[in-house]
Structure 1
Amino acid sequence: MTGRSPAGSTPSLRRWSRPSGVGCEGVPVSRESTREYFEWIAPVWDYWHRKNGFYHRKMTDLIRGMVTPGASVLELGCGTGDLLAALRPAAAIGLNVAEGMTALARKKHPEFQFETVEVDQAKIPNGFTPDYVVLNNMLDYVYDVWDLLESLRPAVTDQTLLVMTTNNPLWGPVLRIASRIGQRLPDSLRNFITNRDIRSVLELQGFDVVEEGLALPMPRRVPLLAPLINALLPEIPVARYISSIQYIAARLRVPRPALSCSVIIPCHNEEDNILECVRRVPSLGSATEIIVIDDGSTDGTRRRVEELMRADPRVRLLAYDTNHGKANAVRAGFEAACGDVLIILDADMAVAPEELPKFLKPLQSGTADFVNGTRLVYPMHGRAMKFANFLGKDRTTARERYALRHQDASP
């Protein structure tokens, strides 16, 4: 069977032919056929990446949003190393299953270490403990997802983040047609695994999922339309499921030592609430401190807090003579805090202080690094919140999530 290429392809593509049995319909996938497939596509890997540059740039942006520059990175199925280089790691190792692909990566990016490994067996050089393990579409091709994830266990800690992307199974027919008409890489037989399946395997292997979602409903560049659809559709229930990419991030489940907590209470003219608010804060973790930031109150708020300080050794006061705004008060509280966990509690007790242990629990268990609560999903009194405020709260939460994901991903 001869591999076809679109008009204008390079001479090397015209000479390119599919090895017998590699990815052919009716031929079972095996570890050997997977290795042969990647040996087969290695010479034209960069050609197809350039041809579908929009898609690969967006995939790079997605993964960069979860990987901090200057970290140590291990990438499985690294191809010729372009994604690894784009992540700007301080130390990096790229693993391939095909020696031909590894040779191209070494030539293209000599600053990194590249190795060839057996399919589903990520043999990591001794002493290398990555901050991130990246599998960009790798799970779509491996013979045994369980074996691959199990082989990673010796090299990861509870601080290592696994970042995985896969094709949405619903896109299977589209991808096959695109390959047949020369719009994407000639394809092999592949896995189509849902995020639910990946989550199940991860949890059985002792990992906790910290983030998952869908992205890139329009993987081809269409001016004006593609940016709009790719930004909006993944946030819309039901419609998000037409996205072409699934992503999931997970960490090894390791019990953390008891965490200390700093409860930050910014307030302005809360004389009537501050006493009750502080008194209702429960003991949290190994130690609890309560930092009240009086942001230029003109009533008796400061005096009330000073009374609390004499009765409760957990309480500390930061006081401003003029109002600087809630954001400044929160930042000041963060800078003064000594705890492992920082919790913001509004003095009006819109969130009951007794609810704070619920926020600490996923942090203590290691299943989350950031916890955000919302009361907007429950029924409210008709006058509890104006509609504009309701929308504003939702937009603020979305903006905070975006900022947390992308704060370290700027170029």
Structure 2
Amino acid sequence: MGRSLDVKFASYRQSRRNHWDSVARKMDSWTGWGSAYHARLMQIYRFWVAPRQRILEVGCGHGDLLASLEPSFGVGVDGSPEMVRRARMLHPELEFIEADGHDLGMLEGPFDVIILSDLIDDLWDVQQVFRQLRGLCHVRTRLIINSYSRVWELPLVIAAKLGVAKPRLTQNWLTVDDVFHLLNLAGFEVIRTWQEILWPLGTPVIAGLFNRILVKTWPFKFFAMTNFFLVRPCQEITPKRPLVSVIVAARNEEGNIAQIFSRTPEMGAGTELVFVEGHSQD
């Protein structure tokens, strides 16, 4: 069983690498709706991420989103050699690493912000990636994720066939609850989730109306294209050693008091003796 899974994972990884290499080579001549969609994503991320921070983006593509956030130290990871090559040419001030998102052992954290944009639906093992990211966090790290809503599964398939959206391989199509549970299992908690982008085209006036106003309101938000998650690492609670109180009900015990002190062991973080005296005559 283990070997079978290894073979399937290797096949998955190679197919993804070939696919995104092919997409990267076509990007210079791309005329679909992707430019408006990614421009809106940049605006959203810039709202949530202050400049001059240590930022990691897994699945960075050609690095435009990472560069737009103006990190003091920016690292992009992508499994496509062609994407990484282009990212290094476009943004030489940033560090780009060719690596599979499931194997991040070469990274040295911690990072202030970690970004997974349109990535988790394309992963083989989402929880494994989340677990690795947990080790790259400090207590104030923020993880920001956006992923396609399942409502858009059919529209995106049709758009790809029409040539106005990038072709994609088989997707996970995770629900918001799915992502919540996977993050929790990996040691994260979701601070906030929300929806963005109703109109992925750069149509004047209409794009602003749909993507800045209507997408925030009921019922339009349920038809949004992408779900966002703002996440932080769960704080590990170190159990404190309790203080121990020993209650002694005493009456006429003058001869035993010294033995009580000497025979009571030190317990927990500290031990106190409380004597409840009952009208002793001694």
1:150 aligns with 2:131: yes
Query: 1:14 matched to which residue of 2?
Result: none
State the Cα distance separating 1:172 from its structure 2 match. Answer: 0.6
Number of the residue aligned with 2:205: 224
Does residue 99 (structure 1) correspond to residue 81 (structure 2)? The answer is: yes
- After superposition, the CA RMSD in angstroms is 2.0
Q: Name the counterpart of 1:236.
A: 217
Distance in 1 (CA, whole Å) between partners of 2:27 and 2:118 is 14
SS at match of 1:249: strand
Decide whether the 8 Å contact of 2:18 with 2:80 is kept in 1.
yes
> Across the two proteins, how many residue pairs are aligned to each other?
229
Of 61, 67, 73, the match for 1:79: 61
Identify the residue that residue 115 of structure 2 maps to in structure 1. Answer: 134
Partner amino acid, structure 1, of 2:12:
S
- State the Cα distance separating 1:221 from its structure 2 match: 2.1
User: What TM-score, normalized by structure 2, do the two folds share?
Assistant: 0.76
- Please state whether the residue corresponding to 2:200 is helix, strand or coil: coil
User: Kindly tell me: are residues 66 and 130 of structure 1, through their superposed partners in 2, closer, same or farther at Cα, counting changes over 3 Å?
Assistant: same
The residue that corresponds to 1:190 in the other structure is 171
Asked if residue 253 in structure 1 is aligned to residue 222 in structure 2, the reply is no
Are the aligned partners of 2:75 and 2:95 in contact in 1 as well (CA < 8 Å)?
A: yes
- For residue 147 of structure 2, give the secondary structure of its aligned residue in structure 1: strand
Q: Distance in 2 between matches of 1:148 and 1:229?
A: 33
CA contact (8 A) 1:158 1:254 kept: yes
- Could you tell me whether the CA contact under 8 Å between 2:195 and 2:224 is conserved in 1? yes
Equivalent runs, 1:28-107 vs 2, <5 Å = 30-48=12-30, 52-107=34-89
Contact 2:150–2:174 (Cα < 8 Å) also in 1: yes
**CA-to-aligned-CA distance 1:124-180 (integer Å, 9 cap, x gap):** 433x31100001101121111011111212211221110100011110100011010
Deviation sequence 1:3-36 (CA, Å, 0-9, x none): xxxxxxxxxxxxxxxxxxxxxxxxx982332222
Greater share of strand: 2
Deviating above 4 A after TM superposition, structure 1's stretches of 4 or more consecutive aligned residues are none
- 1:28-55 Cα offsets, whole Å, 9 max, x none, are 9823322222222221235438853211
1:226 deviates by: 1.9
For 1:119 and 1:125, the matched residues in 2 are separated by: 11
> Which residue is equivalent to 1:121?
103
Q: Is the 8 A contact 1:49 1:56 kept in 2?
A: no
Does 1 or 2 have the higher relative contact order (CA < 8 Å, sep 6+)? Answer: 2
User: What's the CA shift string for 1:352-411, capped at 9, x where partnerless?
Assistant: xxxxxxxxxxxxxxxxxxxxxxxxxxxxxxxxxxxxxxxxxxxxxxxxxxxxxxxxxxxx
Aligned with residue 181 of structure 2, among 170, 190, 200: 200
Quickly say closer, same or farther: Cα 1:38–1:156, change in 2 above 3 A.
Answer: same
- Does the CA-based 8 Å contact 1:77-1:135 persist in structure 2? yes
Return the offset for 1:99. Answer: 1.4
What secondary structure does 1:70 align onto? coil
- Paired residues of 2:31 and 2:164 also in contact (CA < 8 A): no
Partner Cα separation in structure 2 for residue 39 and residue 142 of structure 1: 16
Q: Is the 8 A contact 1:179 1:185 kept in 2?
A: yes
Q: 1:112 aligns with which of 94, 103, 107?
A: 94
Query: Is the alpha carbon distance of 1:132 and 1:50 closer, same or farther for their aligned partners in structure 2, counting shifts above 3 Å?
Result: farther
1:231 partner letter? R
Q: Is the 8 A contact 2:76 2:95 kept in 1?
A: yes
The two structures have a TM-score, normalised by structure 1, of: 0.53
Task: Write the letter of the residue equivalent to 1:78.
Answer: C
**Quick one: distance in 2 between partners of 1:83 and 1:47?**
19
Q: 1:159 to 1:124 in 2, by over 3 A?
A: farther
Secondary structure of residue in 2 paired with 1:159 = strand
Matches of 2:183 and 2:167, distance apart in 1: 30
Amino acid at match of 1:86: S
Who is 1:215 aligned against?
196
Q: Would the alpha carbon gap of residues 112 and 50 (structure 1) be closer, same or farther in structure 2, given more than 3 Å must change?
A: farther
**Structure 2, unaligned stretches of length 5 or more?**
1-9, 239-282
Matched position secondary structure for 1:38: helix
